[in-house]
Amino acid sequence: MPIAHLSSVDIHFELLGPEDAPPLLLLHGATATFRSGWRHQIPVFSNTFRIIGPDLRGHGKSTNPADKLDLRQMADDMAELLTHLGYEQAFVCGHSGGASTALFMAVRHPRRIRALILVSNNFEADRVRTGQLDFWNPERIQREMPQWWAQLQRLHPDPIRLLRWWKEEDPIRPDFSPEELAPVTMPTLLINGDRDEIIPLEQTIKLYHILPDAQLAVIPGTGHRVHARRPGLFNKLVLDFLDAQT
């Protein structure tokens, strides 16, 4: 993977798909990487889009000199990556922590986003904080979720440190008021499973009513990782939405 030496971080990324196709920035969720997070989408989306696939700050082979995670900084990283690659605008699609990063990007750098797709996203952090700090406990993950722990070890050089970063980020993540979301006027697609165990569906519905140009897709019988559990339906929703914007 190439490395983008940005002002405060080195970001590993991939470029896939036709060089002259519309750019689509894919932002993976917390503790994933570009390849692990979007493996069901890469072969499909790269047929018609120029995929920009970074490992977010502190994930995979991307560095994190700050020794902490701040979604505002991560959003700024992505805007700087677009500049580094020579793109004025891109479609942006993020899942979970990547969706939160994308939403911060839409608030802080709205002109860089042609259309926005938020998957299993939260914008009111207090709604998902209860009980979440233990969610990042490495001992609990090793004991209760050994497959996730094995993936963490495979993808990241220091998984315990990465889990600490996310645990420390949870309590400081700011909520968005409707006024703070005012810059988010670009076409937006919200996708959630109706059985999301992390993000309450009613929060996504509330965001849908706040944003002026939003569509909402609720995938039945599906939890937090809708793009992995129902990839065929998910991919069609995204491609149909993006096709309407081009």
Chain segment 94-106, per-residue pLDDT in tens: 999 999 999 999 9
Calculate what percentage of the chain has a pLDDT beyond 70: 96
Give the confidence band of 199 by pLDDT, cuts at 50, 70, 90.
confident
Is residue 32 within 8 A of residue 227, CB to CB? The reply is: no
What pLDDT is recorded for position 1? 67
Distance CA 118, CA 153 (A): 27
Strand 10-16: give its sheet, edge to edge: 3-5, 10-16, 50-54, 23-27, 90-95, 113-119, 188-193, 214-219
Average pLDDT of 15-31?
98
Structure tokens at 93: 């699609």
Residue pLDDT, tens place only, 72-83: 999 999 999 999
Third-level CATH fold of 3-127+175-245: Rossmann fold (3.40.50)
Return the residue matching tokens 């309407």. Answer: 244
Is residue 1 within 8 A of residue 68, CB to CB? The reply is: no
DSSP 12-46: EEEEES-TTSPEEEEE--TT--HHHHSTTTHHHHT
Structure tokens at 9: 């971080």
Average pLDDT of 171-178?
80
What pLDDT is recorded for position 130? 39
Three-class DSSP labels, 167-227: HHHHHHCCCCCCCCCCCCCCCEEEEEECCCCCCCHHHHHHHHHHCCCEEEEEECCCCCCHH
Which of 50-54, 135-139, 166-170 is the most confident on average?
Answer: 50-54
pTM reported for the whole predicted model: 0.95
Task: Kindly give the pairing relationship between strand 90-95 and strand 50-54.
Answer: unpaired
Distance CA 203, CA 209 (A): 10
Is residue 121 within 8 A of residue 100, CB to CB? The reply is: yes
What pLDDT is recorded for position 246? 84
Is residue 15 within 8 A of residue 50, CB to CB? The reply is: yes
Residue 112 to residues 108, 216, 237, Cα–Cα distance (Å):
9, 22, 22
Average pLDDT of 233-243?
98
Distance CA 151, CA 206 (A): 33
Distance CA 51, CA 13 (A): 10
